[in-house]
């Protein structure tokens, strides 16, 4: 529909050898958060879901490092457990959109003609509504739960993945090795998944890593609106939504998941930008679609 | 150009028709239908059945769609099942309020975004440049609902300068109206600033290194003339398209922001109608959003064609 807006900055510095700094910082941030979340059941200092009326609204202190919430639950433990949900949701959604979007893009870019036309017009229809509203619309149909949110978010981002895969496929389809495969009368299936896909993965990997952050942001927004994880779950979006009413009395309940999400998203963004630089030094940081 | 616009308009109509099918199809999947929603959960089944027949809910789905679409085209948007009000006026009011919010945010995003971009480009590689980069990076890395809560915490709870939520019509007094608009606008602006400022920065850096800028400087023109009159004109090219796209993106942003600030616009209407299973309102509101979104995309394309002499839209438009 409209031109993808991307920025290419010609930097004076020659591309650094080895791993770019962004990639290192991104890996460190993301790795730490993912590791902490994975270990959450064993390292959480308190049970994440035990209600206790005597420990309500305790500010951060030596026993409860990040304070307690309106039901007396430890914010740190909830935060750690909730991280698992947010990360799983983001990854799950991205996998869904890759599983559907990549074959769509491969087919559209390789077969061209009516296949291309049909698939891309279909993508246009899905892209005619802002992502969050498409998500809302899909989720309005069923009782909310987190895996449905992941599915809906994945569904929303299918057209974007399909478009990128298509444009990569378009350039690859004219390469000599594809013509050679055709001359050997390989099957279309073989050409698409054994010849084109392995060569298309660098840009797809970068796109997928950035897509995870958008998926986390969109999924948490949907959770925040009540169409994702349900109480007593400690999904970060839901935690912030519940903490809203006590924001002036107990700001730590909302600030903790907010900052955590901030760090995670920045971490994955840096990771994606770093990957891009490593895989394709000509392209520099870009801000995609939310 | 005219042919191009005509083709795009035709395409937009096609897309909107498809979106309407999508919206109607998805909402038709809902387990509870309109008759059930009107009568409530305790209605006897035979009454529900009678109303279903009266409303035509037992007809095949394509007949229902055609009936809905044709009444939509004649301007009859139907009645909200929840508020028992005609949807048309309700929607117009909500769109008006949302446009106030998005309009104000849009202007600020354009002015501040371009301004920051220029400043960062002029101080390329200096601390100020990095500061702007980090600041705008935060803007997109943090979910809008989190910014909204911070804004409420700072401006409403701690400083007490602004109301935490709600909306007042301009007839209540301009200052009161404006006060309710400020907090949601700040939130939207901060969340969308990065895109424009980064784009302006990078194209400005590129343009400032080009020979014609050096020539302008060599002529002895003052630096502000070089920057604002010579360089900016070309540097703004990509920014203009980005801005038009951002307007569409703002339409998505209002969902969360309006909900948090209890601002009775289009976004809140959509969330409200979902929470209360008000299907007719939901369908109409989503279609309106799709139309605005499509218009913003069209404007983006047209501006791109208008300002970029390298692009001329001819026969082959993808």
Q: What is the pLDDT of residue A13?
A: 52
Nearest CA in chain A to B242: A5
Residue A189 has pLDDT above 80, yes or no: yes
Which residues in A lie closer than 8 A to residue B157 (C-beta atoms)?
A: 247-248
Alpha helix (H) ranges present in chain A? 21-38, 40-43, 75-111, 113-126, 131-139, 146-173, 176-183, 188-190, 197-224, 236-243, 252-279
Q: How close A36 comes to chain B (CA, Å)?
A: 20
pLDDT at B31: 58
Task: Please tell me the predicted confidence (pLDDT) of residue B126.
Answer: 84
- Per-residue pLDDT of A47-65, as tens digits, reads 777 777 777 777 887 777 7
Residue of B nearest to A124 (CA): B15
Beta bridge partners of A74: A68
How far is the CA of B192 from the CAs of A192, A211, A240, A288, B187, in angstroms? 38, 17, 21, 12, 9
Secondary structure letter of residue A59 according to DSSP: P
Computed over its alpha carbons, how large is the radius of gyration of chain B? 24
ipTM: 0.81
Residue A4: strand, helix, or coil = coil
The answer on pLDDT for A1 being more than 70 is: no
pLDDT at A138 over 70: yes
> Do residue A141 and residue B251 have CB atoms under 8 angstroms apart?
no
Q: Does A16 touch chain B (CB under 8 A)?
A: no
Highest mean pLDDT among A61-70, A262-271, B139-148: A262-271
Whether the predicted pLDDT of A104 surpasses 90: yes
* Predicted local confidence at residue A102, as pLDDT: 93
Q: How far apart are CA B45 and CA B286, in angstroms?
A: 31
Per-range mean pLDDT, top range of A99-108, A206-215, B6-15, B198-207:
A99-108
Task: Give pLDDT < 50 ranges for chain B.
Answer: 314-318
Interface test with A, best of B18, B141, B183, B210 (most A CBs within 10 A): B141
Q: In which element (H, E) is residue B255 found?
A: helix B232-260
User: What predicted TM-score, i.e. pTM, was given to this entire model?
Assistant: 0.83
How far apart, in whole angstroms, are the C-alpha atoms of residue A37 and residue A43?
A: 9
Interface check for A97 against chain B (CB to CB < 8 A): the answer is no
Ramachandran angles phi, psi of A79, nearest 5° = -60, -45
The pair of structure tokens assigned to A138 is 């899909």
Closest A-chain CA to B136: A287
The Cα–Cα gap between B143 and A221 comes to 7
Q: Over chain A, what is the mean pLDDT?
A: 82
Distance spanning both ends of chain A, measured CA to CA: 16
pLDDT of residue B108: 94
| Averaged pLDDT for residues A8-20 | 56
**Beta-carbon separation of A132 and B256 below 8 A:** yes
Q: Which pLDDT belongs to residue A288?
A: 38
Q: To the nearest whole angstrom, how far is the Cα of A130 from the nearest Cα of chain B?
A: 5
Residue A234 or B254, more confident: B254
Confidence of residue A17 (pLDDT cuts 50, 70, 90): low
Nearest residue to A38 via CA among A84, A74, A87, A76: A84
E strand or H helix that includes residue B174: helix B174-208
Higher pLDDT, A273 or A163: A163
CA-based nearest distance A228→chain B, Å: 13
């Amino acid at each position: 529909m409209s031109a993808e807006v991307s920025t290419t900055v010609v930097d004076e510095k020659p591309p650094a050898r080895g791993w770019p700094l962004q990639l290192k910082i991104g890996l460190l941030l993301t790795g730490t958060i993912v590791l902490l979340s994975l270990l959450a059941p064993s390292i959480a200092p308190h049970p994440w879901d035990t209600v206790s009326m005597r420990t309500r609204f305790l500010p951060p202190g030596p026993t409860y490092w990040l304070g307690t919430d309106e039901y007396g639950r430890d914010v740190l433990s909830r935060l750690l457990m909730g991280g698992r949900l947010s990360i799983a949701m983001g990854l799950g959604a991205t996998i869904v959109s890759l599983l559907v979007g990549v074959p769509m893009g491969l087919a559209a870019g390789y077969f061209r003609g009516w296949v291309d036309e049909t698939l891309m017009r279909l993508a246009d229809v899905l892209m005619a509504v802002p992502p969050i509203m498409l998500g809302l619309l899909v989720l309005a149909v069923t009782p909310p739960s987190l895996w449905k949110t992941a599915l809906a978010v994945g569904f929303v981002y299918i057209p974007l993945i399909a478009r990128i895969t298509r444009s990569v496929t378009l350039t690859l389809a004219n390469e000599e090795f594809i013509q050679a495969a055709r001359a050997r009368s390989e099957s279309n299936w073989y050409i698409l998944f054994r010849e084109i896909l392995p060569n298309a993965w660098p840009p797809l990997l970068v796109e997928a890593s950035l897509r995870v952050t958008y998926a986390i942001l969109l999924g948490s927004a949907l959770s925040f609106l009540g169409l994702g994880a349900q109480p007593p779950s400690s999904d970060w979006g839901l935690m912030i939504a519940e903490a809203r009413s006590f924001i002036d009395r107990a700001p730590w309940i909302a600030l903790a998941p907010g900052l955590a999400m901030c760090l995670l998203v920045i971490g994955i963004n840096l990771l994606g930008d770093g990957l891009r630089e490593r895989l394709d030094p000509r392209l520099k940081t870009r801000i995609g679609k939310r | 150009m005219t042919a191009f616009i005509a083709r795009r308009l035709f395409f937009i109509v096609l897309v909107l028709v498809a979106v309407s099918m999508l919206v109607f199809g998805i909402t038709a999947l809902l387990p509870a239908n309109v008759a059930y929603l009107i009568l409530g959960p305790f209605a006897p089944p035979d009454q529900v059945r009678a109303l279903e027949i009266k409303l035509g809910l037992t007809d095949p789905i394509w007949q229902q769609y055609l009936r809905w679409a044709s009444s939509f085209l004649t301007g009859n948007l139907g009645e909200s099942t929840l508020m028992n009000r005609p949807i048309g006026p309700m929607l117009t009011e909500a769109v008006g309020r949302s446009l106030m919010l998005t309009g104000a945010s849009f202007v600020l995003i354009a002015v501040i975004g371009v301004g920051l971009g220029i400043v960062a480009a002029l101080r390329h590689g200096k601390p100020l440049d990095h500061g702007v980069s980090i600041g705008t990076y935060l803007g997109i890395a943090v979910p809008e609902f989190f910014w909204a809560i911070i804004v409420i915490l700072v401006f409403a709870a701690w400083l007490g300068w602004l109301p935490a939520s709600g909306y007042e019509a301009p007839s209540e007094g301009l200052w009161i109206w404006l006060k309710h608009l400020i907090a949601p606008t700040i939130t939207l602006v901060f969340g969308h600033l990065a895109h424009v400022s980064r784009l302006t920065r990078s194209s400005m850096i590129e343009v400032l290194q080009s020979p014609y800028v050096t020539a302008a400087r060599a002529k002895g023109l003052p630096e502000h003339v070089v920057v604002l009159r010579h360089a900016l004109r070309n540097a703004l090219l990509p920014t203009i398209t980005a801005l038009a796209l951002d307007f569409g993106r703002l339409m998505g942003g209002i969902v969360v922001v309006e909900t948090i600030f209890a601002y009775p616009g289009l976004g809140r209407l959509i969330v409200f109608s979902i929470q209360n299973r008000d299907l007719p309102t939901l369908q109409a509101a989503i279609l309106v959003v799709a139309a605005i979104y499509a218009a913003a995309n069209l404007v983006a394309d047209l501006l791109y064609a208008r300002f970029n002499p390298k692009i001329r839209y001819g026969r082959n438009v993808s």
